[in-house]
Amino acid sequence: MRGQFAASGYLCDNQIQRTPMPKESELPETLLEFVARRPGARLHKIPSEASRRRFFRITIGKNTLVAMVYPEPAPAEIERFRAVQGIYSRHGLRVPRIHDVLGDRVVIQEDAGGLLLQKAWRQYGGSERRRLVTLCADILKKLTGVPPNFTAARLDRARLLWEMDFFLQHFLSRYPGPGQTSETLRAGLARMVENIEVEDAFAHRDFHSRNLLVNGGEIVMVDFQDSLLAPRYYDLVSLAFDSYLDLGHTREILLSGRDWTATERRQLRLTALQRNIKALGTFAYQAFVCHHPAYARYIPRTLRHIQGHLEILADPEYQVLSRYFSSVTRNA
């Protein structure tokens, strides 16, 4: 089982054998007591990767729950998790329900299963795929309806530019382009970020196929605790141009239903371009710094997305970026 706990990053296949059950002395006393009070209950470690948190399945007869465990007391983080979960629930957005909070380190949640949208895509045919994407489109519409005053956290230009610097540090060093330097690329990336309209739209922040679970015929979101205000199309492009899943023709389900102006289409592509470049930085960091090589498998698709954005934008302002990514795509 992987899905619900790919929440804070991207689960790598080679990690599954490296997640042994910790000793009881390493587990919070509140969790051990919770299990002990339920005769026959069993605790199983669930693999997770980039998160500071650990996850456990609690089996109680035919029922299961999930324990999310923080490494140290984290009352502020747990309170934010509860608050954001409440925002989603009040706006008809499906996320795992909170069963209990144990002290300041453990949250007990509904077990929403492990069928990632990424995995379900391989199992289902065309009609079911279209239905699932339609459900995602409905979720995206609801997300845009959450009032922006529910959070003060923002994905502003400073943060967007920081993500571009992270890309330069970790991706460019591994995939250099002929005649390209970090200075020239950074100038192009800075212009791109400056041209993105940073609107205050409520966003999940990581709305992609590895944070969406197919459960009981519906879509359940996880990894929602870092929701913030972001560029208006951020969640939309995160799924439409997902690094983990190529939606193909069903992408139009997400992009249809409105009369896009030229300005809006440009903003959509600029936001998608930034989001995909940011993902390359993450993949390179995980593959080459954290030694999780499975991340590298998603680089080629992400590069293809980037090439597509730049071709559609066809903007001389981004010629430096176009030359670099054309070179990298050919050699990736």
Which pLDDT tens digit goes with each residue over 11-41? 333 333 344 566 666 899 999 999 999 999 9
Closest CA to 270 of 315, 228, 207: 315
In this prediction the pTM is 0.89
Flag whether pLDDT at 48 surpasses 90.
no
Q: 3-110 falls under which CATH superfamily?
A: Phosphorylase Kinase; domain 1 (3.30.200.20)
> Above 90 in pLDDT, residue 6?
no
Structure tokens, 230: 């972001």
CATH no. for 117-331: 3.90.1200.10
Domain boundaries, the chain: 3-110, 117-331
Distance, CA of 115 to CA of 131 (rounded, Å):
16
Q: Helix axis angle, 262-284 relative to 182-195, nearest 10°? A: 140
Residue 100: both structure tokens together: 């209990």
54-91, pLDDT tens digit by residue?
A: 999 999 999 999 999 999 999 999 999 999 999 999 99
Q: Note the pLDDT tens digit of each residue in 189-217.
A: 999 999 999 888 999 999 999 999 999 99
pLDDT tens-digit map of 86-136: 999 999 999 999 999 999 999 999 999 989 999 999 999 899 999 999 999
* Of 266, 268, 299, residue with least CA distance to 284: 299
For the residues of 49-103, what is the DSSP string, one character each?
-S-SSEEEEEEETTEEEEEEE-SS--HHHHHHHHHHHHHHHHTT---PPEEEEET
Percent of the chain with pLDDT over 90: 82
Residue whose C-alpha is closest to residue 203's, from 171, 225, 235: 235
